């Protein structure tokens, strides 16, 4: 008798091995995608932060300003902030406030706090400059 092909047990063994490999690979890929998405949001923050600084210096406006990401993009201060999850425009704003610093007044140097508020489709994050930067990337309150 000439039996060509695989037995049911051999096929079942191959299916089990493929299932185990998929079980190991899928969580690793999901974690990698999450980290990549986090880095993309961080890049939007850094771009918005730099754009707000540029606009603030260019316009020489009074302190306590707020700029929307849409305005910063439309005026050419930053690249389009694209949501990595679904490729839509991330809305948000950057607030600039002058810190009360008595020592700075002696040197006639002011310190500023930047707060970037990102609102993407399924994600809302806030970032801070200065002493509050340990809160960076947290969900909006």
Tell me the CA end-to-end span of the chain in Å, nearest whole number. 74
Residues in the chain: 141
CA distance 67 to 131: 21
What is the CA angle 123-51-63, rounded to 5?
100
Q: What is the pLDDT along the chain (141 residues), one digit of tens a residue?
A: 567 778 899 999 999 999 999 999 999 999 998 899 888 888 888 898 889 888 888 877 666 788 899 999 999 999 999 888 888 898 888 888 776 655 444 445 567 777 888 888 777 878 777 655 555 666 666
SS3 of 28, please?
helix
Task: Label residue 38 exposed, middle or buried (CB < 10 Å: 0-12, 13-18, 19+).
Answer: middle
Q: Quote the pLDDT of residue 27.
A: 92
CA distance 37 to 69: 19
Cα–Cα distance, 37 to 125 (Å, whole number): 12
Residue 39, token pair as written in the block: 């880095």
Sequence spans of domains, the chain: 8-139
Pairing of strands 65-68, 124-128: unpaired
For residue 43, what are the CA distances in angstroms to 19, 80, 120, 127? Answer: 36, 11, 13, 11
**pTM exceeds 0.75:** no
Give the C-alpha separation, 77 to 57, whole Å: 12
């Amino acid at each position: 008798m000439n039996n060509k092909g695989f037995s049911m047990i051999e096929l079942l063994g191959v299916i089990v091995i493929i299932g185990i490999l998929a079980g190991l690979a899928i969580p690793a890929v999901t974690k990698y995608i999450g980290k990549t998405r986090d880095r993309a949001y961080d890049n939007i923050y850094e771009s918005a932060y730099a754009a707000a600084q540029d606009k603030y210096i260019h316009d020489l406006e009074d302190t306590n300003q707020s700029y929307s990401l849409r305005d910063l993009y439309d005026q050419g201060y930053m690249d389009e902030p694209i949501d990595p999850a679904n490729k839509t425009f991330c809305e948000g704003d950057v607030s600039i406030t002058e810190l009360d610093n008595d020592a700075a007044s002696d040197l006639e140097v002011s310190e500023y706090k930047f707060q970037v508020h990102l609102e993407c489709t399924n994600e809302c994050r806030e970032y801070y400059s200065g002493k509050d930067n340990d809160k960076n990337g947290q969900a909006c309150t």
